[in-house]
Structure 1
Amino acid sequence: MTLTMLGGESLSRDAFRDRFGRVATALLNEGLRAGDSVALLLRNDLTFLEVEQAAAITGVQAVPLNWHNAPEETLYVLNDCGAKIVVAHSDLYLSAGAGAFPPGVRVLVLPTPPVLCDTFGLDPSCARVPEGTQDYRAWRDACAPMISDTPPMPSNVIYTSGTTGHPKGVVRHPRTPDQAKASRNALMQVYGLAGQEGAQIRTAVIGPHYHAAPTIHANFCYSFGADLFVVARFDAEELLALVERERITHLNMVPIMFSRLLKLPREVREGYDLSSLRYISHAAAPCPPDVKRAMIDWLGPIVTEFYGSTEMGNITLCSSQEWLERPGTVGRKIPGAGLMIVDDAGNELPPNTVGTILGRSPGITDFVYRNREDETAASFMNGLIVPGDAGYLDDDGYLFICDRNKDMIISGGVNIYPAEIEAVLHGMEEVADCAVFGIPDAEFGESVCAHIQLRDGAQSDATAIQTRLRDRLAGYKVPRRVVFADTLPREDTGKVRKILLRAPYWEQTGRRI
């Protein structure tokens, strides 16, 4: 079993264990204990996984940072989680600037590897440890390895984009052995590993590690004993070449990756031997029906969808055959999962009646939002977790998602909350009011749209608004479409009626999310 950074280093299982064991010792030597936080400002790299594994065996909480975030967003998360150490690639440390790191936080810098410099077009001069900072490698290698017999599953603190303008850290309660076993069994099904003990599993991690799904997939497949290939950044044809060359058997993807694969010329797609592929799981965003059908037609009935959230975990599975028989479903609940459709009062609704979805993945524990305990209670109902989606169960127990109760936009599998963008817009003196929401996007599923009402006599244009937003927010949060309106439709309470603004964009798509 090996772990390979595509285009970079390759480690045996023993060498990898030695590395994360050294990191574990180093964390303890720094005084970190269970419940403390180490943050990761890293691109896809084996180092990301080794720090996660080290955190898991020491009880320290790993906090992945979205490296697309603006410096002030990074600073907010680091302050909120109370990180004592940040491990950062050198280019990301340099681009973030000193202002992104709270006073007293220790920053350990890893020179950005050549493969990442090449992939992202970085100046080689940024692949160095800046003067005045400590080299992560020297810090790690100075310690003897802590020995751990069982590969741990990290319990990262994932920050979900905030509905009230700031992201919220999801902190899990500790699991009992029985809960850990139930969770493992559920993930075996989600990732197509049930009954595969002893088989050769070869998988590629192709999504950004700061997202929950790719890093859970990577760490779980490692614990299962799979050969793991880490990809710096998704590229459609390069993925096909990797599958052919390394005989990849399992993949975890998001629908935007399907779209980009299908955009390749047919002769390119058919030029690669993909016969090793046995299982593709996908989630994170609604998959357009024509895209899903085209993937199944191309690769066969190996495409399985699951539905879940950071807070709730994964609760349903849908095979290719089930989806073809019931287009649009996200499947039936995983054995041991909780799933219920309720009205606003929490009463269970009959089949084929749209209501609020409640669910809980097998073995998943309760959680709190870090420093937002008062907001946590609203996430639980009837002993289950509220993901914020509306849907219904058909007569056979298949779940269909109809809309999101939350205001969240999912663009290319990335969660974006309008309130965060609206808060910045409201800070612009020329803006009287605004509404941010998702609109259809052929490639990303959804893109961000802003309708803006200017103050009387004020002037602006889309480019000016977008430029100012980029100074405060990650680029993917900046609206691609900006519309100026004299007034915005409102309820009697004064709240903007976003449903009326969204509707014209979605009328011809046959879907609402």
Structure 2
Amino acid sequence: MTNTTIDKASFKGIVCGSRHLTHEQFQHNIRQAANGFKRMGVQPGDCVGIFMRNDIPFLTANHAANYVGAYGVPINWHLAGEELEYILKDCGARVIVIHADLWRRIHDAIPGEVQCLVVETPEDIRTAFGLEPDVCSVPEGVTDWQTWLDAEEPIAEPAQAGPSSMLYTSGTTGHPKGVRRVTLDQEGAAQMRDFRSRVYGCAPSARCMVPGPLYHSAPNGYSMQASKISDLLVIVPRFDAEGVLGLIEEYKLTAGIMVPIMFIRMLKLPETVRNRYDLSSLEFIIHAAAPCPADVKRRMIEWFGPVINEFYGSTESSAVVACNSEQALAKPGSVGKTVPEAEIRILDEEGNRLPPNTVGEIYSRFPLLDFTYHGKPEARAEIDRDGFITSGDMGYLDEDGFLFIADRVKDMVISGGVNIYPAEIESVLHNYPGIKDCAVFGIPDEEFGESVMAVVEAEGANGICVEEVKVYLREHLAGFKVPKTIEIGSDLPREDSGKIFKRRLRDKYWQEAGRKI
């Protein structure tokens, strides 16, 4: 379908850029792809790699793999050849579905036994990423996804029960690990649909939007459910602050999943631009993946209304804590209370439970979505205490059971024996006029072991005065938390999830010092 024939405000189906599929067309494609995967030898328990930007065929392939009892394995398309090769070999992928421009960049790294289905990189993605048309067509001699799909009859047998996506962790230490969930029976699948409808907002009749990368855990789970049961799913090829506001108005969107950096960038739009769009259709925006400064949350609620919701979790744990707008305003900085399906414990280094308002390592348990690391059960054991797992976050529960995140264990700075949490400092920096982005981390210090450093990026051409920033920080933070060193940077390296690649900023200082701690 083309835009000229579409009533966007009432359309039901799957949308990406100018392309619109009804639910019937989308399901037909899934059954065609499922039949094709089966004929390619994909068996229950096998894996189908997906190396793509946000696109409709991404979800078609993901659903089709699940249909035949296989795992869809979404892979971060930014990865280099060795990293892609490792994941494909580790999961034993039989097939990879890949955009044409990405295939050209990385095809030498695809193991010979992995069958390739190459998807033409569509105009919507070409425009969003500034790609040349000649790298986006399917090369001769490889299997064209659309030609392959059109030649398949829809699969006759019913869908297999249970398997979901197998996401690989980011691999900041060592190789990434595949999070392989237990297979859900019919009752368990129904419970998960209810859970995602309630906590994520991608419920039946919702009109949903996903501007984050589909290879990440939360956007993937959200989009897989929304594309199956919600009235509408709009897949955004690449986040654009004003563009997202336009989509909300055009499609009368009611729901979406975002990350805090998207909020920050939308709030930085001129007020005349922000007021240009009708956002009254919104009912439920969920965000996660990175800390959201309390002031940013408050300003978003004032602008969008009490529709801003948050969850806390990880690829391994799923969403174990949730927070609505009312709770966020009552408990600024909190990520919410434990969902009924999960349990939370705050433990010290010896594994003892800590009292309220005492910072420790966060452990969680979500029995319905238990998992193992693919081929690495020992790695699961390393993060497990009595069936509760940790992703390395520090935090505390207050007297009312609300969870507050302090920081990552690995991001915490210990300066002169005092624990300092960069997320707290970053939250203050984000409120400073003229700062577009920031990252706080620890660098070597001969006297204190570590000292706090901040890299800040200016909003415009006027720049930032470092001494004035330090004065501002001292007004809002204890003196020992104010970064000893502040540098002006540009284009801070961020993951699509919104998290900053602090390792890229931090490592050079530790390498120069000849130590890691």
Q: What interval of TM-score do these two structures reach, taking the shorter chain for normalisation?
A: 0.7 to 0.9
Q: Greater relative contact order: 1 or 2 (C-alpha under 8 angstroms, separation 6 or more)? A: 1
Contact kept? 2:68, 2:160, Cα under 8 Å: no
Task: Give 1:180 shift.
Answer: 2.6
The reply on whether 1:378 has 2:382 as its aligned counterpart is: yes
The reply on whether 1:236 has 2:236 as its aligned counterpart is: no
The reply on whether 1:15 has 2:29 as its aligned counterpart is: no
- Hey, what does 2:177 align to over in structure 1? 168
Identity %: 42
Task: Give 1:171 shift.
Answer: 1.2
Give the counterpart of 2:273 among 235, 246, 268. 268
TM-score after normalising by structure 2: 0.78
**Structure 1 segment 149-168 matched on structure 2, within 5 A:** 155-168=164-177
Give the counterpart of 2:117 among 88, 108, 113. 108
Q: Alpha-carbon deviations, 1:360-393, whole Å to 9, x = none?
A: 236212x222232221201222222222212111
Contact kept? 1:452, 1:485, Cα under 8 Å: no
Contact kept? 1:309, 1:387, Cα under 8 Å: yes
**Structure 1 segment 24-423 matched on structure 2, within 5 A:** 24-96=34-106, 98-147=107-156, 155-192=164-201, 197=204, 200-361=205-366, 363-365=368-370, 367-406=371-410
Q: 1:341 to 1:91 in 2, by over 3 A?
A: same
Task: Give 1:42 shift.
Answer: 1.0
Task: Give 1:477 shift.
Answer: 7.7
Q: Alpha-carbon deviations, 1:168-217, whole Å to 9, x = none?
A: 11111222334333322221221235xx65xx421111111111111111
| Equivalent pairs, count | 440
- Hey, what does 1:496 align to over in structure 2? 516
Q: Say which SS state the counterpart of residue 369 (structure 2) adopts.
A: coil
Q: Alpha-carbon deviations, 1:210-239, whole Å to 9, x = none?
A: 111111111111232321111110100011
- Hey, what does 1:460 align to over in structure 2? none
Task: Give 1:23 shift.
Answer: 0.6
Q: 1:448 to 1:154 in 2, by over 3 A?
A: farther
| Residues in 2 aligned to 1:32 and 1:486: alpha-carbon distance in whole angstroms | 45
Task: Give 1:488 shift.
Answer: 3.6
Q: 1:446 to 1:147 in 2, by over 3 A?
A: farther
| Residues in 2 aligned to 1:150 and 1:180: alpha-carbon distance in whole angstroms | 13
| Residues in 1 aligned to 2:267 and 2:227: alpha-carbon distance in whole angstroms | 29
Q: Alpha-carbon deviations, 1:315-348, whole Å to 9, x = none?
A: 1111111111111111011112111222233332
**Structure 1 segment 471-486 matched on structure 2, within 5 A:** 479-480=504-505, 484=509
Q: 1:486 to 1:216 in 2, by over 3 A?
A: closer
| Residues in 2 aligned to 1:449 and 1:106: alpha-carbon distance in whole angstroms | 45
Contact kept? 1:151, 1:223, Cα under 8 Å: no
Structure 2 letter corresponding to 1:223: K
TM-score after normalising by structure 1: 0.79
| Residues in 1 aligned to 2:387 and 2:507: alpha-carbon distance in whole angstroms | 41
Contact kept? 2:162, 2:184, Cα under 8 Å: no
Contact kept? 1:337, 1:359, Cα under 8 Å: yes
| Residues in 1 aligned to 2:368 and 2:437: alpha-carbon distance in whole angstroms | 32
Structure 2 letter corresponding to 1:385: I
- Hey, what does 1:508 align to over in structure 2? none
| Residues in 2 aligned to 1:294 and 1:405: alpha-carbon distance in whole angstroms | 29
Q: Say which SS state the counterpart of residue 286 (structure 2) adopts.
A: strand
RMSD, aligned α-carbons? 3.0
| Residues in 2 aligned to 1:481 and 1:164: alpha-carbon distance in whole angstroms | 14
| Residues in 2 aligned to 1:394 and 1:448: alpha-carbon distance in whole angstroms | 26
Q: 1:278 to 1:362 in 2, by over 3 A?
A: farther
Gaps of 5+ in 2: 1-10, 414-421, 431-435, 447-492, 494-499
Structure 2 letter corresponding to 1:384: F
Q: 1:312 to 1:484 in 2, by over 3 A?
A: closer
